[in-house]
Amino acid sequence: MPKRIPFLLISILLFLSFVLFSYVVAKEVFTQIDFDITTKLQDHISRKFDLPFSLFSILGSVEVTAIFWFILSIFALIKRYWLTFIALFSFWFAHFLEIFGKIFVLHPGPPHLFYRGTIDLNFPSHFVQTDFSYPSGHMMRTTYLVTFLILFTFYKIKSPLKFPIILGLIAFTFLMIISRIYLAEHWTTDVIGGMLLGISLGVFTSVWVPKKLN
């Protein structure tokens, strides 16, 4: 991977940005902006996307992303990337911070009248609920894994397919952003907070991939 110090500094800067942004969100500075973005998205996107976005959002659930995390962890163990394997556990530290935020950042989610989700699979994680919605766990998990995969792909994969792969990962993240807000699962600020947290720890994890892969 690239030199570690610059990327570690980027990770720290993003994490501090998450902390600062969380403070501003708690002060309800962006309440009107949150409301306006949600209503405009729902006004301009057809209701026929309710089901596709609901299906898509399943990919960001704890259960599904945990499978991807497990695959990455097994890959690291098989390749004997010990530091990478240890760093990957920051994925679960991010969940701790997510739950902490949803308990202590007083930021109620969108009212139920905005909700457009059409699927309820009753995953175990659905039963872990708090009164507040900041930050978005879907965006935290998605951006954590996508950031790690983008950096890994960019620096370590020599195939000409690496740029289409990276563009695909970016498009996936964009769709997840839209789905969270359109379905009224989260406000825009929840999504931004989740992204800052996920990207910061995704960058942190990626720098511990060995420079020379087996």
Which residue, 174, 90, 180, 92, is CA-closest to 136? Answer: 180
pLDDT at 214: 56
pLDDT at 172: 96
Reference 34, options 129, 111, 98; nearest CA is 111
User: Is the previous residue joined to 210 through a cis bond, with omega within 30 degrees of 0?
Assistant: no
Look at residue 26 in the predicted model and tell me its pLDDT: 92
Selection from 38, 61, 68, 51 nearest residue 138 by Cα: 61
Nearest to 136 by CA among 192, 90, 64: 192
Decide if 132 contacts 105 (C-beta within 8 A): yes
* Region label for 161, one of left (φ > 0), alpha (ψ between -120 and 50) or beta (otherwise): alpha
**Do residues 201 and 94 make contact, with C-beta atoms less than 8 angstroms apart?**
yes
Spell out the per-residue pLDDT of the chain, length 214, in tens: 557 889 999 999 999 999 999 999 999 999 999 999 999 999 999 999 999 999 988 999 999 999 999 999 999 999 999 999 999 999 999 999 999 999 889 899 999 899 998 887 666 556 556 678 999 999 999 999 999 999 999 888 888 888 999 999 999 999 999 999 999 999 999 999 999 999 999 999 999 998 766 5
Q: What pLDDT is attached to residue 1?
A: 54
- Separation CA 153–CA 202 (nearest Å): 13
60 within 8 A of 122, measured Cβ to Cβ: no
- pLDDT, position 130: 66
d(C-alpha 147, C-alpha 140), whole Å:
10
pTM over cut 0.85:
yes
Secondary structure (3-state) at 47: helix
H-state helical runs in the chain: 4-26, 31-44, 50-57, 62-78, 82-87, 90-104, 137-156, 162-182, 188-206
